[in-house]
Structure 1
């Protein structure tokens, strides 16, 4: 193995970081439907990533934290049986509620990498339209 500029020759020289891509930063869903908050990442590390999704509020709410697809800790009651985390970091929210509306921050980190991948996706949840009819008989 030869070294150049402090790197192993089989790897590109540079800072190790998680590079994250978010194809769509604005997602629209409807109450009772699903929303796919899609991200992907790349890293030279073979370790599983720690993925953290938070909903921005006055005080941010952790939606889910996982190592790969395995959820760490206990989910908040409002998210139980409603979320799925994919290997690439994407979050699927089932049975959308109006309270799911907002900006979601995602953070993907890997032990070997110096820098964490971070990004945001805004989800708009449309409520079901109710119509009222007034009849004068």
Structure 2
């Protein structure tokens, strides 16, 4: 009798354990998901177990609001995409409950929540960052020549892209007078000190988590050319100054000659007097 009672008690205990509420586990990527503007992204989720009477809902957090995107009803095996949202026409809820977003926009970046609703809610969050891909960079040379050394600044710029990072790589064999120095305040510029007979060969790489582009810049002896240009400009400026001085002296000399000639011509003119004219007799009578 005691043995029968023990078996019955064990059966009740087993039934009691089996009729308890199961814990729903939601597995999601615990890292930042990256997306590209104009492309698609998949927000992966794994739910285990899935209760027979449950709803699985995806929402997007905007400031303090949560915008519903899609919902799946397990009991009816039906999916619903919520209309009149910024995601309308761009989302798909797959059978494994993964949310697909197409034609990504920068504004799609943020926090997404997936909630399994049974007798209680089980919720997890996924963070998405959307990047604009970088364009191919362009490079230009900015020179600052002095008598002691030649400072060369390379500028790397892009036409499009977001969250841009710059990486400079030295590709040449030139010897620099000083270490490579990053210009403060603008990561897209690099300043180097180059000898007069040295060449420069650098690569600028622009990148973000979804794209990468690069461009090379090479020029032979940029400082020698700069010095020659500076010397040529100095000579031209000197000749211009000399010419200005010569022209100024010539004009002054011409003015002085004209002034002297004018005075000389004035002195040659006949003088005239005022009053009655005087007559000198030619035939005077002789006294006898």
Question: Structure 1 residue 74: deviation in Å?
Answer: 3.7
- State the Cα deviation string for residues 118-137 of structure 1 (Å, max 9, x = none): 100000000243544xxxxx
Question: Match of 2:62, SS?
Answer: coil
Counterpart selection for 1:7 from 9, 13, 16:
16
Structure 1 residue runs of 4 or more that deviate by more than 4 Å after TM superposition: none
Alignment root-mean-square deviation, CA: 2.6
Q: Does 1:56 align with 2:61?
A: yes
Q: Which residue pairs with 2:38 in the alignment? A: 32
Question: Match of 1:60, SS?
Answer: strand
Count of aligned pairs between the two proteins: 124
Q: Which residue pairs with 2:100 in the alignment? A: 92
Q: Which residue pairs with 2:193 in the alignment? A: none
Question: Match of 2:103, SS?
Answer: coil
Q: Does 1:22 align with 2:31?
A: no
Q: Which 5+ residue runs of structure 1 have no aligned equivalent?
A: 133-137
Is the CA contact 1:18–1:116 (under 8 Å) kept in the aligned structure 2? no
Structure showing greater radius of gyration is 2
Question: Match of 1:4, SS?
Answer: helix
Indicate the structure with greater helix content: 2
Q: Which 5+ residue runs of structure 2 have no aligned equivalent?
A: 1-10, 136-157, 160-288
TM-score, normalised via structure 1 length: 0.73
Indicate the structure with greater strand content: 1
Counterpart selection for 1:115 from 95, 120, 124:
120
- State the Cα deviation string for residues 18-52 of structure 1 (Å, max 9, x = none): 221113442101001111111111126334x3121
TM-score, normalised via structure 2 length: 0.38
Structure with higher RCO (Cα < 8 A, 6+ apart): 1
